[in-house]
Amino acid sequence: MDRPKYLKNGDTVAIVATAKKLNPAEIDGAILHIKSWGLNVICGPNLYADYNQFAGSDEQRASDLQWAIDHPEVKAVLFARGGYGTARIIDFIDWETFIKSPKWLCGFSDLTVLHSHVQNTLGIETLHSTMPIFFKDGTPNDGSESLRKTLFGEVISLHWSAHELNRAGTASGSIVGGNLSVLYSIMGTPSQMDFSGKLLFLEDLTENLYHIDRMMMQFKRAGHLSKLAGLVVGQFTEMEDNTVPFGKSADEIILDAVSEYNYPVAFDAPIGHVTKNLASVHGGNAKVVVTNQHSIIKYS
């Protein structure tokens, strides 16, 4: 995997939106905060466009992403927010300039489409990270600090406390993944990644528990879960249930789906729709260590 260059003081980053619409008041504070890192910030020409629920038409959103990845001064592209929409434009993008001069692509949730597509088709690392909408008032938090440190090349490892469902062990490989629902939605497309030998991480938001089970069964029946080197389960936030309970939590559903495999499984990772959404180098080589005391992701 190729790794984009880390940033330095005075570099320029671009902010674009490929999914849900937003208005300036929602990220003005975040833009000021990013500038305080010593970076120049430029915004996509259509950043605040409005087309139904989207940040502009498919053509506008694709144009902004193309502008950002082709811009000779831009060293990283920060996606303003998620929602839904990146899958609608991913096939419009010409990656020729990006391949010659890779830059960090930073976001999560709906941007899982982008991470998976770039990893699978280009072999270039991206950054699964928080987005400006998650520090919109300009106040730093664990997620924004992790994004800053990673962009500037401060090698970080993720450490978190043990979970009662953990399956201990150590595994190494390329770490990939993201939002479970989005990964499920791109199965069978050119954006689907190869899971063989990978360390897979998963997170999700406001899904019904039986949906989680259905998606995990699809992953299992397709043979993806049996091929993993390890599994990291992030935050499954605000899960929903039916009047008649499904009977298991999201974590229990996931553990059940991988129960017949022997690789390590770490739960409660600080990845997902929470303030402490720590950056992960998507496609980067890593080691996962799961013990009864803690879980660690160490990046190469």
Q: Is 109 a catalytic residue?
A: yes
The three-point CA angle 39-40-46 to 5° equals: 130
Q: Which of the following is catalytic: 109, 144, 181, 280?
A: 109
> Which residues pair with residue 51 across a beta bridge?
54
Q: Which of the following is catalytic: 203, 207, 224, 280?
A: 203
Q: Which of the following is catalytic: 117, 273, 280, 295?
A: 273
Dist. CA 227–CA 224, nearest whole Å: 6
Beta strand 285-290 with 294-299: parallel, antiparallel or unpaired? antiparallel
Upper half-sphere CA count for residue 136 (Cβ side, 13 Å): 11
Residue 57: Cβ-neighbour burial (10 angstroms; 0-12, 13-18, 19+): middle
User: CA of 209: how far to CAs of 74, 103, 105, in Å?
Assistant: 41, 37, 31
> What sign for the dihedral angle of Cα 255, 258, 263, 269?
negative
| Encoded tokens for 52 | 């139904």
User: What torsion, rounded to 10 degrees, do the Cα atoms 39, 44, 50, 54 define?
Assistant: -80
Q: Is 273 a catalytic residue?
A: yes
Dist. CA 282–CA 276, nearest whole Å: 17
Q: Where are the beta strands (DSSP E) in the chain?
A: 12-16, 40-43, 74-79, 104-107, 126-128, 158-161, 169-179, 199-205, 230-237, 265-266, 280-282, 285-290, 294-299
Tokens 């990964």 correspond to what residue? 183
The catalytic residues are 109, 203, 273
